[in-house]
Amino acid sequence: MARKKEQDWFSETDRKILAWLWNTGRALDGPRRYLLGSLKVAYLAVRNSYLDRLPFQANALTFITLLGLVPALALSFALAKGLGFADSLEGLIINEYTASQTEVLKYIINYVQNTKVGTLGMVGLAMLVVTLVLTLSSVEETFNRIWEAPHSRSWPRKFTDYLSVLVICPLLVLASTATWAGIASHSVVQWILDTPWLGPVAAQSVKLAPLFILVAAFMFLYLFLPNTKVPFFSALLAGAITAILWWTVQSIYIKFQVGVSRYNAIYGGFASLPLFMVWLQVSWQVLLFGAELAHAHNLVSKGTPPKDVAHRLNPAQREALALGLMQKTAARFQAGQEPWSVAQLAKELKVSKGEVWRVVDDLVSAGLLAELNQDDLVVPGRALENLLVCEVLAAVRGGLEEGRDPQEHPEDPALVALMDKVLSAEQKALGGLRLLEVADIPAPGAPTGCNLNQSPSQEKS
């Protein structure tokens, strides 16, 4: 009972805060509008972290990481050993961590280096790779839930994408380290360091280099891991904030190492292991919060309000909006003009940007629209002469069979017959009406007929 009251109180308070944040923004402009946008991003990130049960997700990923850590290091060290970089990679890993972390990592690295990959055989090597891919797949699924991605990567893509990252990333880190060592010995760099006013600035910049590397690493994870398009600036912002948070947590953790002797009385020689696990769990929480931050920034920048405060269009309005979007994009595409952006379409059609994005997402999923990788531009996703009006309607409606479980929702013959009559009448009325005819643009060729009871993706299959 107490739990239910707590949930009701949270839901009511959350609804009021969301309504205040989104309704207040309409009357603001300039710096105050940017400040309110920052508040929206921060609140959505914290709120969604609570709703997505981030600590529990971090706990699961901590356990999975412990299982996948040895295979990941084994693969990286096998490649580094073949290229003669094994000692450099070990030093790079060890030097970045605290005493208790280093103790655990030294044990793991010693175990990995004693593992002879050549003697594992094809079956052993395959199991090593499969364990690694399954570990990263669990991480991807967590990111996909945060970003509400419809599905994960296919298994062939998982193997190619994950393994390429595990091979390339260590090499890039080692290459950057070696490059910096070469630059540092250059006479020009030495002259800069010896210059009275440039030297201190350059020295401080060098001290901040690990932070910049962290920002790049986190940004790469936020761009790469979710199986959906992540805006670059959202990933960059989340990467910068997450890097600062992680660096702060690491600094606090180092200070708390002073009291590690207290744990030795209880854990003895195993004191480093629980401390390492705590650090790993907190690191996952920070990383996942960054993913929530990137997702929240993307929603706010698109103007998409949360479901609790969004004014949703009714089905007829969504269909009209979908036809309007397709008509506008088709007309401009046929005229050879610059594509519409989502913001321009929202202003032109006098609809909120959030609602436009929702319909655009449906049309993109159906293959009727395509997004360009710049400025949220949209263009037709298929040849216009073969695109029917009924396909646009089916894209925003979804088929009658979508999301249905025949066992839970047994079909009523009378209801099915009635819906068949309605859909048949509508299909007969629309016939082979093409989108270009609605847009008043002539085009050759004309398909005939379509099925309003299934989405375009179902028709293709």
Bigger pLDDT: 132 vs 205: 132
Q: Is the pLDDT of residue 235 over 90?
A: yes
- Out of 268, 302, 336, pick the residue that ends a domain: 302
CB 370 within 8 A of CB 378: yes
Among 48-52, 55-59, 285-289, 372-376, the minimum mean pLDDT is found in 372-376
> If pLDDT is split at 50, 70 and 90, which confidence band does 405 have?
very low
Indicate whether 456 and 341 sit together in one domain: yes
Give the per-residue pLDDT at 316: 87
Q: Beta partners for 379?
A: 370
Give the per-residue pLDDT at 459: 44
Q: Is the pLDDT of residue 103 over 80?
A: no
> If pLDDT is split at 50, 70 and 90, which confidence band does 10 have?
confident
Encoded amino acid at 450, one letter: C
Q: Is residue 2 part of a domain?
A: no
Indicate whether 246 and 293 sit together in one domain: yes
Determine the Cα–Cα distance for residues 364 and 367; give it in Å rounded to an integer: 5
Q: Is the pLDDT of residue 101 over 70?
A: no
pLDDT in tens, 261-311: 555 555 555 666 777 788 889 989 999 999 999 999 988 887 776 766 656
Give the per-residue pLDDT at 401: 47
Q: Is residue 224 part of a domain?
A: yes
Indicate whether 256 and 115 sit together in one domain: yes
Q: Is residue 159 part of a domain?
A: yes
Average pLDDT, the chain: 74
349-to-320, 324, 326, 439 alpha-carbon distances in Å: 10, 8, 12, 15
Indicate whether 265 and 328 sit together in one domain: no
Q: Token pair of 22, please? A: 């989104």
CATH (domain of 436): 1.10.10.10
Indicate whether 220 and 361 sit together in one domain: no
Q: Is residue 41 part of a domain?
A: no
Tell me the three state secondary structure of residue 377. strand
What is the percent of the chain with per-residue pLDDT over 90, rounded to a whole number? 11
Q: Is residue 21 part of a domain?
A: no
Angle made by CA atoms 220, 224, 227, in degrees to the nearest 5: 155
Give the per-residue pLDDT at 120: 54
Indicate whether 293 and 397 sit together in one domain: no
97 phi and psi angles, rounded to 5 deg: -125, 170
Give the per-residue pLDDT at 46: 92
Indicate whether 271 and 323 sit together in one domain: no
Alpha-carbon 271 to chain mean position: 36
Indicate whether 226 and 341 sit together in one domain: no
pTM assigned to the model: 0.65
Give the per-residue pLDDT at 95: 57
Bigger pLDDT: 184 vs 314: 314
Indicate whether 290 and 155 sit together in one domain: yes
Q: Beta partners for 78?
A: none
Q: Report, as an integer, the average pLDDT of 185-201.
A: 64
Q: Is residue 29 part of a domain?
A: no
- Out of 280, 302, 324, pick the residue that ends a domain: 302
> If pLDDT is split at 50, 70 and 90, which confidence band does 19 have?
confident
Rounded to the nearest 10 degrees, the angle between the axes of helix 121-147 and helix 272-302 is: 50
Domain that holds residue 456: 315-460
Indicate whether 296 and 330 sit together in one domain: no
Q: Can you give the length of the chain in residues?
A: 461
DSSP state for residue 53 in the 8-state scheme: T
**Looking at the 3D structure of the chain, how many domains does it have?**
2
Q: Is residue 244 part of a domain?
A: yes
Residue for token pair 């009559």: 421
- Out of 281, 302, 323, pick the residue that ends a domain: 302
Q: Is the pLDDT of residue 383 over 90?
A: no
Q: Report, as an integer, the average pLDDT of 176-197.
A: 59
CB 137 within 8 A of CB 158: yes
Q: Report, as an integer, the average pLDDT of 149-166.
A: 80
* Helix-then-strand count for the chain, H and E: 19, 3
Determine the Cα–Cα distance for residues 323 and 336; give it in Å rounded to an integer: 20
The CB-side HSE value for 59 (13 A sphere, CA atoms) comes to 5
Q: Is residue 32 part of a domain?
A: no
Indicate whether 319 and 266 sit together in one domain: no
Indicate whether 397 and 287 sit together in one domain: no
Q: Report, as an integer, the average pLDDT of 406-419.
A: 66
